[in-house]
Amino acid sequence: MMALVKKLQDRYHYSLVVLKELVKTDFKLRYQGSFLGIGWSVLQPLMLFCVMYAVFAKFLRMSDGTPTYPVVLLMGISAWQFVQESTSVGLRAIVDRGDLLRKIHFPNYIVVVSSTIGALISFAINFVVVLLFALFTHVHFTWRVLLLPLNFIQLYIIALGLALLLSTMYVYFRDISHIWDVLQQVLFYAMPIIYPLSMVIGNNSLRGYGLLIAKIQLLNPIAQVIQDIRHNLIAPETQPTIWTMTSNPLLRAVPIVLSILILVLGVYVFKRNNRKFAEVM
């Protein structure tokens, strides 16, 4: 066992060193010249949360009516921003680091992974803020918080898979960035992030199909994992998940399988095309 660990350390030591330096450099450059610096990691989702809460929860009354809803909303926005940042920055990672990739020999995937880790650091900071809000609003934590590491791993798998896939496509098709910007907006409003899932289930205008539509929404792995995080951390009583809405094991497995397929597809497409990146760029 020790021999295997030693072999893996020797094989990936250089890659890990490069990855560490890229993450440090990217994180420093992101806030270089900014007066508030790293504070924007917290302020940006908080400002978006304030706008969303004022418009949708207070003005349009799109709330589940519970005291924990503000924390639920903030958690959803923070998780979505992690996916958005990982994919948006990861999409351009290869092209933006083209000169570096041509000068220094190291695995191309590292620049994409470094962009997702940078987003993960910001998400970790935001998660601390969410925890503080949860404590302030007297959220009752349950044993389900032990499941959160699995949720975060799944969320990262999705973000990394999408980043690898999009970064490969962007090398060949620059229009993919504009297409992805539109798709992000579609995904954002198609998922129960700024509105509670209970509004879909109990919506009379959907003619009794609310529950079915809610289940279809949760087949989206991003929506499923964000809802799982909210359920396990904040409000298991008021935040339904695919696990609580259906007993069908096949339906329950769909978002998990899709998460794995996204990563596998991303790795496959990236690995198959990465040797041509220098020629194309």
Q: List, for residues 73-104, the tens digit of each pLDDT value.
A: 889 988 999 999 999 988 988 887 766 666 66
In whole angstroms, give the CA distance from residue 161 to residue 268.
10
**What's the CA gap between 224 and 156, in Å, rounded?**
13
Mean pLDDT of all residues in the chain? 82
Q: How many angstroms separate the CA atoms of 196 and 202, rounded?
A: 10
Identify which of 162, 154, 192 has the alpha carbon closest to the alpha carbon of residue 180: 162
Residue type, 150: L
Of the candidates 75, 149, 103, 29, the residue with the CA atom closest to the CA atom of residue 278 = 103
Tens of pLDDT, residues 170-222: 988 888 999 999 999 999 988 988 888 888 887 777 777 888 888 899 999 99
Structure tokens at 117: 């880790």
Q: At what angle do helices 109-136 and 40-52 cross, to 10 degrees?
A: 60
Judged against a pLDDT cut of 80, whether residue 51 lies above it is answered with: no
Q: Which of 15-19, 21-25, 58-62, 158-162 has the lowest mean pLDDT?
A: 58-62
Q: Please report where in the chains the tokens 């999705």 appear, as a residue.
A: 158
Residue identified by tokens 């918080």 is 145
pLDDT of residue 163: 94
**Closest alpha carbon to 233 in 154, 139, 165:** 139
For residue 65, give the DSSP letter. Answer: S
Tell me the mean pLDDT in the region 53-75.
75
**Number of neighbours of residue 257 by Cβ within 10 angstroms:** 11
Q: What pLDDT does 3 receive?
A: 55
Residue with tokens 């509004």: 199
**Residues 231 and 239: beta-carbon distance below 8 Å:** yes
